[in-house]
Amino acid sequence: MAKPEIFLHKGDIPADLVFGSSVAVDTESLGLNVKRDRLCVVQFSCGDGKAHLVQFAKDAYDAPNLKKMLADPAITKIFHFARADLATIFHHLGVMPSPLYCTKIASVIARTFSDRHGLKDLCRDLLNLEMSKEQQTSDWGVETLSPEQQFYAASDVLHLHALKEKLEAMLVREKRQAYVQAAFDFLPTRAALDVAGWENADIFAHKPSR
């Protein structure tokens, strides 16, 4: 994997940063509990081989320029496992990214021949790239991110545009685009339910009375 160009920003992105029509987005937090574990980093890429990392100090989530980009209806935000990232962004930054695309959901609906839908799996299967997840459980709350942490965070967004292109071709071939879009449309509601306390409830499940 070629070494990416990484830009580290403290607290927000520059106001004059130019975006295209789509941006790949990911987050790093102190843990998996959205209300307990604070958001530390939001990383994104415009699909140009460059990655931008926004590092947050504790309880410092103003970031007006980043929020503006995340809410911009002219920019599609590409995630992998968008449900978790949307809940984290919504809870800490107070904005719900839209419109959006989730490569995990796209893979589940397109690649019914496989049960491997993780980012590492997709990069290997569709792009012939091997990704390291060594830094996934490192301490993202440190004051200074290590080069290894920065590279890991960047890697999580650099390939999402290419994965989207591969998955879209499969979805079109199998005529499953409508299912995927319906799932994407529901994702903000699912994330809001997670934040509100229904993260472990299957709201569509039915338990017949005895």
Q: Could you tell me the domains of the chain?
A: 5-197 (3.30.420.10)
In this prediction, residue 131 carries a pLDDT of: 86
Q: What is the mean pLDDT of the chain?
A: 95
In this prediction, residue 209 carries a pLDDT of: 63
- Whether the predicted pLDDT of 1 surpasses 70: no
Q: How does pLDDT run across 12-67, given as a tens digit for each residue?
A: 999 999 999 999 999 999 999 999 999 999 999 999 999 999 999 999 999 999 99
pTM score, two decimals? 0.94
Instruction: For residue 9, give the H/E element and its range.
Output: strand 5-10
- Whether the predicted pLDDT of 69 surpasses 80: yes
| CA-based nearest residue to 109, from 190, 178, 180, 204 | 180
In this prediction, residue 133 carries a pLDDT of: 67
Q: Residue type at 207?
A: K
> What is the C-alpha radius of gyration for the chain, rounded to an integer number of angstroms?
17
- Mean pLDDT for 95-107 is 98
In this prediction, residue 2 carries a pLDDT of: 64
Return d(Cα 193, Cα 198) in angstroms, integer: 5
| CA-based nearest residue to 69, from 29, 25, 39 | 25
Give the dihedral of Cα atoms 31, 35, 40, 45; nearest 10 deg: 90
In this prediction, residue 132 carries a pLDDT of: 75
In this prediction, residue 208 carries a pLDDT of: 73
Cβ neighbors of 100 (< 8 A, separation 6 or more) are 76, 77, 78, 79, 82, 86, 184, 187, 188
- Mean pLDDT for 89-112 is 98
| CA-based nearest residue to 39, from 85, 101, 83 | 85
- Whether the predicted pLDDT of 144 surpasses 60: yes
In this prediction, residue 210 carries a pLDDT of: 60
| CA-based nearest residue to 41, from 5, 21, 66 | 66
Q: Sort residue 47 into left (φ over 0), alpha (ψ -120 to 50) or beta.
A: left
Q: How does pLDDT run across 169-193, given as a tens digit for each residue?
A: 999 999 999 999 999 999 999 999 9
- Mean pLDDT for 152-176 is 97
Whether 25 and 78 have beta carbons less than 8 Å apart is answered as: yes
